[in-house]
Structure 1
Amino acid sequence: MLTVPDGVEVVANWESARRLDSPPLLILDPVTGFLDQHGIGSGPIAWQRIGDGHSNVTYLIERGDRSVVLRRGPRPPLPKSTHDMVREARIQRILGRHGVPVPEILAVCEDESLLGVPFYVMSRLDGTVITNTIPPHLSPAGQRKATSEAVVDVLVALHSIDVAEGELASLGSPEGYLRRQVERFRGLWEVNTTRSLPAVERVGDWLGRNLPASRTASVVHGDYRMGNLMFAPEAPARVLGVLDWEMATLGDPLADLGYLTATYSEAGSPATPLELTRVTRSPGYLTRRQLAERYRSRTGLDLTALPWYQTLALWKAAIFSEAIYTRWQRGERPHDTSFGPSLETGVPRLLERAGQYAGLTVTTRR
């Protein structure tokens, strides 16, 4: 049985929450009432925080014979247009109807008086997320290869969904997607940093001058990597669910492929903070080039401009990682003793790697 420890992250009620300097992330009494309202379990709640937790926050909730997952944004104040839990839940409901493997959305709470932010509750998937260890059932060489192939094949299936009309068309406008990405993230740098890294502007300028022409439009996940996929608990390798749809929209599908390949761990390549599933450095997994070739062979898309999308991916990653680093510096991530401080050098490494994809000489070290 999971336990409920004392601490500022989780409290029993709003009376206890008001005594804290910063708001807690989970308040048990209002969540219990919400679960009662939607007929989800009975009795007291037990909880466990799961996932990376660098952006939105996810909890495994056990209540009676039910196990569900609650997902919410970080502590307020939240930047405009980010951490939209209501939109994220809606996207998954729509994609589930189109055959995309996603958890079932059980209930959505738009009432901020319960936790201070909107949240939603989804089904718990019984599977494995691959990060630093290889699950025994996926360890044989053939299953390592099949795991990499499944990552590509699910992305191909996502990008093959027709987004021209119907409910999917309401998720965003693909026209001008790449330019908006560059302009939006350029603006985010100044409000999320306390230091000067001229490489951000230099790479951003290069991206703006070399925008490729988008050949097609699709659903773009925005954070597509192996660590955001849940695999079945038995062989053969099969994706049970695609997780973390916070940044999903309509746009250029090669943005997802660029992000997947640029953040994918490969033997012999320099490590960056975004290589969150390092097991793919081991023998048997596809290389970045093989991932891209499998995607190309199944979609027919021209990948000549892929380095531009890889540059965009790591440049964006540097900017949102800088926001995490700044929050850590300000004491807003008190329990983060490793990832936050590592970004002092990690963000410059991301920028240097982005420069390499762009063919630029980028120096970030003093």
Structure 2
Amino acid sequence: MTESDEDYFARIVDEEKLAAYFEDHLGAVEEYDVRHHKEGHSNETLFVTWGEQELVVRRPPPGETADNAHDVLREFEVIDALQDTSVEVPTTVASSADHSILGSDFYVMEREEGTVIRTEEPERFATPEYRERIGAELVDRLAEIHQVDYEDIGLGDFGYPEGFTERQVETWTEQLQWAFSVTTEEREVPVLHDVMAWLEDNVPEEYPHTLVHGDYKLDNVMFGPGTPPEIVSIFDWEMATLGDPFTDLGWMLSYWWDGKDPAPPDATESLTTNFMAGPDYLTREELVDRYEAATGFEFDNPRFYRALAVYKLAGLGEMFFRRYLEGNSDDPMYPKMRHGVPQLADRAQRIIDGEEPL
């Protein structure tokens, strides 16, 4: 680690205090090791070896956001509630609201073994049958989330599904307006205002009420180490709530590229990959057909939900760009949003206009 890495590591974990916590809850061991897992851009992930156990600790990033935007105990609540369902989630171990240990809330779960597909297919999956299976697994596991009886597992008060979709549009519009108050001095994105108005005018009034993951996509699931492709765990539940399942489906589809699509925006290459546009992978339309068959739901407004997903991506990008302009981030992706957000806005408009069909 560089010195700055060491400093940051010391901010997110006190190894002695964490060891004392594990000893109290899991018993004494001879082998103990903590590593910082740097993938992802939200909550912090620590890999812990505790004797023969391989564990994961999730905690918020340090600083003022730790008490509001990164509610890891809420994430623990939903994963823990799903333990005895068909939904593939890690096995929970413990949670703590005692800030004297790590300076924040945190929870512990067992570590899963497998592959998270980020930029390209694993070599062991490079066959027509397995390529098709990747998409089938992804959509089948989403359908299982949406079929959970959330009342039965104790999540009846986990959210407010009535009016959820309208609030999604309002929330992301507010996020964009916050970013625009700084970014418009550098450049404007007029297309995004057109998308904003269309979404506000076309919010579906009726939709099923289900458990919603909130960030369901290919790189938030893990495939087991063998073949055929099989999802063994679903991660990153921090945005989970009760709401409109089609927002999950639209979000997943926004990351799933078809052979008929234009190339992903070059300025957002770190957010997207398009290997699934190659031969043998299921198309978006085939994914939707499979989802409808599994859930009994009819996905009647694909333009709205897909455009909303890209609008949310644009909102994230514009917030990144504001933080870059204000000098609050050295992430090399953030300045690329100068051009990346307009490219995303154009994509949302193409979806609305039917130029990038399902």
TM-score grouping bracket, smaller chain normalisation: 0.7 to 0.9
TM-score between both structures, scaled by the size of structure 1: 0.85
Cα distance change on mapping 1:140 and 1:304 into 2, 3 Å:
same
Q: Deviations over 1:304-338 (max 9, x none)?
A: 2111011111111211232233334444444x33x
Task: Assess if the C-alpha contact under 8 Å between 1:218 and 1:250 holds in 2.
Answer: yes
Aligned to 1:276: 272
In 2, Cα distance between equivalents of 1:206 and 1:80: 35
Aligned to 1:302: 298
TM-score between both structures, scaled by the size of structure 2: 0.87
In 1, Cα distance between equivalents of 2:66 and 2:22: 28
Q: Out of 82, 105, 113, which is 2:69 matched to?
A: 82
Aligned to 2:35: 47
- SS of 2:79's equivalent? helix
**2:236 aligned with 1:244:** yes
Cα distance change on mapping 1:360 and 1:293 into 2, 3 Å:
closer
Aligned to 2:258: 266
Cα distance change on mapping 1:266 and 1:211 into 2, 3 Å:
same
Aligned to 1:324: 320
Q: Out of 218, 227, 230, which is 1:226 matched to?
A: 218
Aligned to 1:358: 352
> For this pair of structures, how many residues does the alignment match?
345
In 2, Cα distance between equivalents of 1:12 and 1:56: 14
- SS of 1:303's equivalent? coil
Cα distance change on mapping 1:323 and 1:58 into 2, 3 Å:
farther
Q: How does 1:153-192 map to 2 (within 5 A)?
A: 153-164=140-151, 167-192=154-179
Deviates more, 1:249-258 or 1:103-112: 103-112
In 1, Cα distance between equivalents of 2:354 and 2:68: 32
In 1, Cα distance between equivalents of 2:66 and 2:349: 27
In 2, Cα distance between equivalents of 1:127 and 1:349: 34
Q: How does 1:50-61 map to 2 (within 5 A)?
A: 50-51=38-39, 53-61=40-48
Task: Compute the displacement of 1:74 (Å).
Answer: 2.5
Aligned-residue identity in percent: 31
Cα distance change on mapping 1:117 and 1:342 into 2, 3 Å:
farther
**2:8 aligned with 1:8:** no
Cα distance change on mapping 1:165 and 1:104 into 2, 3 Å:
closer
What letter corresponds to residue 58 of structure 1 in structure 2?
T
Aligned to 1:131: 118
Task: Compute the displacement of 1:249 (Å).
Answer: 0.7
In 1, Cα distance between equivalents of 2:208 and 2:60: 31
Aligned to 1:206: 198
Q: Out of 86, 89, 98, which is 1:102 matched to?
A: 89
In 2, Cα distance between equivalents of 1:112 and 1:326: 31
What letter corresponds to residue 269 of structure 1 in structure 2?
P
- The structure carrying a bigger helix percent of its residues is 2
